[in-house]
Chain A
Amino acid sequence: MASDYLIDAKGISVRADGRSIIDNVDLTVAEGEIVTLIGPNGAGKTTLVKAVLGLRNLSSGSVSIKPGAVIGYMPQRLSVDTNLPLTVRRFIGLAGKAEKGKRQSVLEEVGVLPIVDSSIHDISGGEMQRVLLARALLRDPDLLVLDEPAQAVDVNGQAELYHLISAIREERDCGVLMVSHDLHLVMSATDKVLCLNNHLCCVGHPEAVSQDPNYVELFGPQVAESLALYHHHHDHEHTVDGHVIPRHAQDHEGHDHG
């Protein structure tokens, strides 16, 4: 399959225990593109990322990853068992061999140089996120996959981290697939937003998505209004488990849920 995409996922669905976790989602990430997945808790964001990486079995659909593309993955949570003694340096070194100078500059860029000799059990959640990012970067990735990179990071740190991620993209021209549940912060650092709630609610540029009725419906008008004026009607509602129920047949401008 020839394509210019780093990731080209078509119609992927994942089921667990008879429940649909993600349903018929298309997802592409082009070279040098930052794609952000947003959605409420339980929307299937992490599952989608894992499905794309081949860590979850698909019940249908296909994922093709550009042959030879190196992936740097930053999982949502990583806690090292306390039985295992591990320094930050050793953990980062496990990602693979990198020349000393390059390693040094990556560690400096991401800001983990001061803690590199600490035990990995003694660093904070925010520091751990940076360590994971450094580890992913040292693989010299064509594609960075970041699952909630800014969790456990305070608000100032979050903005800084997203800034860092877009700087990394500029510098290395790698594709980025990232999960967030806060469109505010990722706005400026993203090219394309996928709004997920088990199915794909809306896709597009961050400004467009923030005005999309489906986005507004998902996150509530207050959240949306702070980004854009709310002047659309929603064409469907969501039940608690994410099912779509059509609202009014007449006001149609939304999307199709095949």
Chain B
Amino acid sequence: MDEFILYALLAGLGVTVAAGPLGSFILWRRMSFFGDTLAHAALLGVALGLLLGITDLTVGVVIVCVGAAAFLVVLQNRTRLGNDALLGILSHGTLAVGLVVVSFMENVQLDLIGFLFGDILSVTTTDLAWIYATSGIAIAILFKIWRPLLSITIHEDLARAEGIQVTRINLLFMILIALVVAAAMKVVGILLIAALLIVPASAARHYARTPEQMAGMAVVIGTSSVVGGLMLSLAYDTPAGPSIVVIALVLFLISTLMPNVGRQV
């Protein structure tokens, strides 16, 4: 196997292992738009990182994503507008600001297309190290806060009354998503990160009866999408990132045809 394919495969798997369970939580909390918002904020993170001369782009991405998440909480407390409106504003607002900032940087060579659509076939060993570090940390933290996070997801007041540190856990959860967005940027690109979080988890819903089953199935489906997408890309010379999402979409459509395992009456 060529080295670049092996690297691409490893990169994709490294991301989907964290994206499966986190994407499940995003669905459970009805936060699908949040993934998009953070993905778009990631572009702003890249731009600002370059502007400030931060050599590693992941740092800028994580900082701006966490900032956007914190800003969302501030907005939630200041306005009666619903979450969907706020996320729409933040999502497209950060994307626009990011694109404007990029246009200021005439001296910097920036592969905008690469950031928007991902460039999994050019993953380096340094990228791999970053991906495994971020997604490894994300999985470790998620494992540790699984039970309280699940309780909060089911009923926040009940969790709080039972003594769970709701604010702290919620903040950690947002940081985890920011980490995975940073890791996934290289694989599928900013425009399709949310798909990697949402689509495998949605497909997994149709096979699961417990939260853990769903998270596990989301990893399996995400991983299969990466393998299938790369094969598609190699065979027909299609762009790798979108090909991965196309396979995930096909797997989702198949899951809807299954007898409703998760919705027995």
Residues in A lying within 8 Å of B, measured CB to CB: 50, 53-55, 71, 73, 75, 78, 80-81, 83-87, 90-91, 94-96, 119, 121-122, 139, 145
Contact = CB atoms under 8 A, between A and B. Distances in A.
Given A83-B30, A87-B209, A119 B147 contact: no
A87 B157 contact: no
A205 B212 CA distance: 48
Interface in B161-208: 161-163, 205, 208
Interface string B19-40: 0000000011110000000000
A115 B211 CA distance: 18
B264 interface: yes
B153 interface: yes
A8 to B, nearest CB: 18
B210 interface: yes
Contacts of B125: none
28 contacts: A53-B161, A54-B161, A55-B157, A71-B161, A73-B158, A73-B161, A75-B155, A78-B158, A80-B154, A81-B30, A83-B27, A84-B28, A84-B154, A84-B211, A84-B214, A85-B208, A85-B209, A85-B210, A85-B211, A86-B154, A86-B211, A90-B210, A95-B162, A96-B162, A119-B209, A119-B263, A121-B263, A145-B161
Nearest to B210: A90
A43 B213 CA distance: 43
Given A78-B155, A90-B210, A85 B262 contact: yes
A215 B208 CA distance: 51
B264 A122 contact: yes
Contacts of A55: 157, 160-161
A119 B264 contact: yes
Instruction: List 5 tightest A-B contacts by C-beta distance, closest first.
Output: A73-B161, A84-B28, A85-B208, A83-B27, A53-B161
Nearest to B265: A122
B184 to A, nearest CB: 21
A145 B262 CA distance: 32
B162 A71 contact: yes
Contacts of B211: 84-86, 90
B158 A85 contact: no
B147 to A, nearest CB: 6
B147 A84 contact: no
B154 A91 contact: yes
Query: Which of B30, B150, B162, B205 has the most chain A CB within a 10 Å cutoff?
Result: B162
A45 to B, nearest CB: 15
Contacts of B160: 53-55
Nearest to A84: B28
A54 B161 CA distance: 8
B216 to A, nearest CB: 12
Contacts of B154: 78, 80, 84, 86, 91, 94
B233 interface: no
A87 B263 CA distance: 11
Given A81-B29, A90-B210, A94-B147, 20 more contacts: A50-B157, A53-B157, A53-B161, A55-B157, A71-B163, A73-B157, A75-B155, A78-B154, A78-B158, A80-B154, A84-B28, A84-B211, A85-B208, A85-B209, A85-B211, A86-B154, A86-B211, A96-B162, A139-B162, A145-B161
B151 interface: yes
B210 A86 contact: yes
Contacts of B158: 73, 75, 78
Contact of B205 (A80, A85, A90): A85
Nearest to A56: B157
A159 B157 CA distance: 27
Query: Which of A53, A94, A122 has the most chain B CB within a 10 Å cutoff?
Result: A94
Nearest to B213: A85
Interface string B101-119: 0000000000000000000
Contacts of B162: 71, 73, 95-96, 139
Nearest to B30: A81
A75 B157 contact: yes
B210 A87 contact: yes
A84 B205 CA distance: 8
B209 to A, nearest CB: 5
Given A78-B155, A94-B147, A94-B150, A83 B205 contact: yes
